[in-house]
Structure 1
Amino acid sequence: MASITVKLFANLREIAQTSSLSITGDTVKDVLLSLTEQYPPLKELIFESGSADELRLCGYINVFLNGNNIKHMEGLDTTLSDDDEMGVFPPVSGG
């Protein structure tokens, strides 16, 4: 299992009361599931409702792995390596 840094932004950071944490997992899905187990209120903000087998990110959530959007990789099945950095971004507006 890879040990990675997960950075949370905006309201996700406020709910978890931390901006960064270390989580282990083999895939993006593993890490996000672990994150939502540690912070249950995040689950409804990150995932659309459904079983664990058919999880989908909410359409407005963006997840970046080492600066690359996972939508352009293998999505939730993207494999992780030690020291990767994942950023989870909710929609943000303002000016």
Structure 2
Amino acid sequence: MKVRFYATFRELIGRKEIELNSSRTVGELIDYLAEHYNPEIKKQLLESPHAKEAGKAIDGMILVNGHNILHLKGLDTELKDDDEVHIFPPAGGG
């Protein structure tokens, strides 16, 4: 599967895109990225105070084949080898 990163996540991972075949769910993908690239990505996506306050599974946005995982099975969304995943960091603004 192709995994593409945007904005600050490109800096954290050190790449714009990677290809993987090892993750079965979005949750496993995040664990893999934290272990093999940078643990900060997991902290920002799953452990931020904003995600917990808002009662959301993630802080940021993850799309699988163009569909937001919050409208699928969240972190349990299943992944296949031909999927395309886009990972966006939390958006700021006012």
TM range (shorter): 0.7 to 0.9
Q: Deviations over 1:25-70 (max 9, x none)?
A: 1111111110111212222111116xxxxxx423xx1000000001
Q: Which residue of 1 aligns with 2:14?
A: 17
TM-score, normalised to structure 1, is 0.77
Q: Counterpart in 2 of 1:62?
A: 61
Q: Is the Cα contact below 8 Å between 1:36 and 1:42 reproduced in 2?
A: yes
Give % identity: 36
Provide the rounded CA distance (Å) in 1 between the counterparts of 2:61 and 2:17. Answer: 16
Aligned residues: 83
Structure 1 gap ranges (5+): 50-55
After TM superposition, the score normalised by the length of structure 2 is 0.78
For 1:57, the aligned partner's letter is I
In structure 2, what is the equivalent of residue 78 of structure 1? 77
Supply the RMSD in Å over aligned alpha carbons.
1.8
